[in-house]
C-alpha cells in the first residue's frame, strides 16, 4: 500500500483547523446577514393622525387669519397641515355655487396659524384643515368655517391715554356703542404683529395695561364683531406712550424741621411709578436764586448747612428724563430754644 507523507500542504485538513474555519465562516454569515435589516413597521405609524380642532378665523380688509388647535404631544409622527379653501364668487346670482375645496398651502407641524392674503373682499370663503403624518396618512377633516363677504365695522376714534400709578390706560371714542375691540401693542412705531394683547374682546372705551418706563409703547385698536369668525375693522389711529415725555406731579405736603446744625426736609412719596427720584434746591440769596444742593431716591433730605438766616427750599420729582413742577417752602430759619 502506498503511503503519503505529511507536509505543510495537507495540514489544512487537520481536524482542529477545520473546526475553527467552519466556526469563523458561520459567524461572518450571521453578522453580515443582519446588516441593513430594518425592524418591521409598526401599525401605529400607519394610523390616522390627530384631527386639527377649533378652527377659527379673523377677517380683515386684506387678509384672513386662520388659527387652530393641535396637541403638541401628537407631533412626533406628524409632517404638517394642509390648508384647504373653497370660494363663492360674489357675481353668482342664480344660487350659491361653492367651488370644490382646493389645497392652498402646507405648513409645518409646529405651526398653528395661517394668513391667507390671496383673497377678494367681494367673495366668501370656506376653510378646513387636514393633518398629514410622516407616512403621508391624512387625518379626518377639521371643522369647516365660513368667512362671508360683509362690511367690516368702523374703528374707534380720538385715542388718548392717561397714567395712573403703575398703569397706562388707553382711551377712545366709540363709533357704535357697546362694540367689542381688540388691542394691539408694539415697541416700534407703525409695526404690529398679528397677535392681540387682550385675551377676550374688550367692551367699553378703555383698556388698562401695565406701565413700562423703560421703552416706548404704541397701540392701535380695532373694532370687532362675530365669534368663531371675527370680522375686524381697519386700525384706529396709532397712539404712542413715550416714558421720556412723562412729567411727574408736584410733591405734596413738603415740611421742614430746623436743627442747630442742619435742616431736614420731608414730603409725601410720589404714587407715580415712573418717578426715579427727587431734586432739592435751596435759595439763600434772591439775586442768585435757587441752587441745586442734592438729589435723593427717598422722600426726605438733610441739608447740612445751618439755617442761621432765612432760606427757601424747592423739591421736584424726576421722571425718566423730565423734571416736574417743584413744591416750595419759604422762610426757614433756625430759632434757638429758650
- Residue 84: the pLDDT is 98
pLDDT exceeds 80 at position 274: yes
Q: How far apart are CA 267 and CA 298, in angstroms?
A: 9
- Residue 228: the pLDDT is 87
3-state SS, 15-48, equals: HHHHHHHHHHHHHHHHHHHHCCCCCCCCHHHHCC
Q: How far apart are CA 151 and CA 82, in angstroms?
A: 29
Mean pLDDT over each residue of the chain, to the nearest integer: 88
Q: Which one of 2.60.40.10, 2.40.10.10, 3.40.605.10, 3.40.50.720 gives the CATH number of domain 157-242? A: 2.60.40.10
Please write the tens of the pLDDT for every residue from 222-269.
999 988 899 999 999 999 999 999 999 999 999 999 999 999 999 999
Question: How confident is the model over 204-227, as a mean pLDDT?
Answer: 94
Q: Sign (positive/negative) of CA torsion 224, 230, 231, 236?
A: positive
Please write the tens of the pLDDT for every residue from 20-29.
555 555 555 5
- Residue 1: the pLDDT is 43
Q: Where are the domains of the chain?
A: 47-147, 157-242, 255-332
Q: Which one of 3.40.50.300, 1.10.3720.10, 2.60.40.10, 3.20.20.10 gives the CATH number of domain 47-147? A: 2.60.40.10
pLDDT exceeds 80 at position 96: no
Please write the tens of the pLDDT for every residue from 39-77.
455 667 788 999 999 999 999 999 999 999 999 999 999
Side-chain-side CA neighbours of 151 within 13 Å: the count stands at: 3
Q: DSSP letter at 49?
A: P
- Residue 46: the pLDDT is 82
How many CB atoms neighbour CB 184 within 10 A?
Answer: 19
| Region 255-332: CATH code | 2.60.40.10
Same fold, 47-147 and 255-332: yes
pLDDT exceeds 50 at position 17: no
How many CB atoms neighbour CB 150 within 10 A?
Answer: 13
Amino acid at each position: 500500500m502506498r503511503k503519503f507523507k505529511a507536509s505543510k500542504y495537507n495540514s489544512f485538513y487537520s481536524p482542529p483547523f477545520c473546526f475553527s474555519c467552519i466556526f469563523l465562516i458561520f459567524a461572518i454569515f450571521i453578522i453580515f446577514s443582519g446588516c441593513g435589516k430594518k425592524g418591521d413597521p409598526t401599525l401605529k405609524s400607519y394610523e390616522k393622525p390627530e384631527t386639527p380642532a377649533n378652527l377659527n378665523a379673523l377677517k380683515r380688509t386684506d387678509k384672513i387669519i386662520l388659527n387652530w388647535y393641535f396637541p403638541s404631544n401628537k407631533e412626533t409622527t406628524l409632517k404638517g397641515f394642509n390648508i384647504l379653501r373653497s370660494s363663492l364668487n360674489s357675481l353668482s346670482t342664480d344660487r350659491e355655487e361653492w367651488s370644490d375645496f382646493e389645497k392652498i398651502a402646507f405648513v409645518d407641524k409646529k405651526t398653528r396659524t395661517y394668513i391667507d392674503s390671496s383673497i377678494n373682499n367681494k367673495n366668501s370663503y370656506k376653510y378646513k384643515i387636514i393633518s398629514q403624518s410622516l407616512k403621508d396618512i391624512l387625518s379626518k377633516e377639521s371643522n369647516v368655517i365660513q368667512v362671508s363677504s360683509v362690511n367690516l365695522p368702523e374703528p374707534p376714534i380720538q385715542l388718548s391715554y392717561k397714567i395712573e400709578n403703575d398703569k397706562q390706560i388707553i382711551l377712545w371714542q366709540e363709533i357704535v356703542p357697546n362694540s367689542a375691540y381688540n388691542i394691539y401693542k408694539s415697541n416700534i412705531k407703525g409695526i404690529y404683529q398679528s397677535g392681540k394683547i387682550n385675551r377676550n374682546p374688550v367692551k367699553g372705551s378703555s383698556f388698562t395695561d401695565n406701565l413700562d418706563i423703560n421703552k416706548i409703547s404704541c397701540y392701535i385698536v380695532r373694532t370687532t364683531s362675530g365669534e368663531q369668525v371675527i370680522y375686524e375693522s381697519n386700525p384706529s389711529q396709532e397712539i404712542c406712550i413715550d416714558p421720556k415725555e412723562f412729567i411727574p406731579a408736584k410733591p405734596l405736603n413738603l415740611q421742614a424741621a430746623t436743627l442747630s446744625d442742619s435742616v431736614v426736609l420731608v414730603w409725601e412719596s410720589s404714587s407715580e411709578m415712573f418717578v426715579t427720584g427727587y431734586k432739592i434746591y435751596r435759595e439763600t440769596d434772591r439775586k442768585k436764586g435757587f441752587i441745586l444742593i442734592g438729589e435723593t431716591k427717598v422722600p426726605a433730605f438733610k441739608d447740612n448747612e445751618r439755617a442761621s438766616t432765612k432760606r427757601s427750599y424747592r423739591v421736584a420729582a424726576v421722571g425718566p428724563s423730565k423734571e416736574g413742577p417743584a413744591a416750595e417752602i419759604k422762610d426757614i430759619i433756625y430759632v434757638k430754644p429758650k
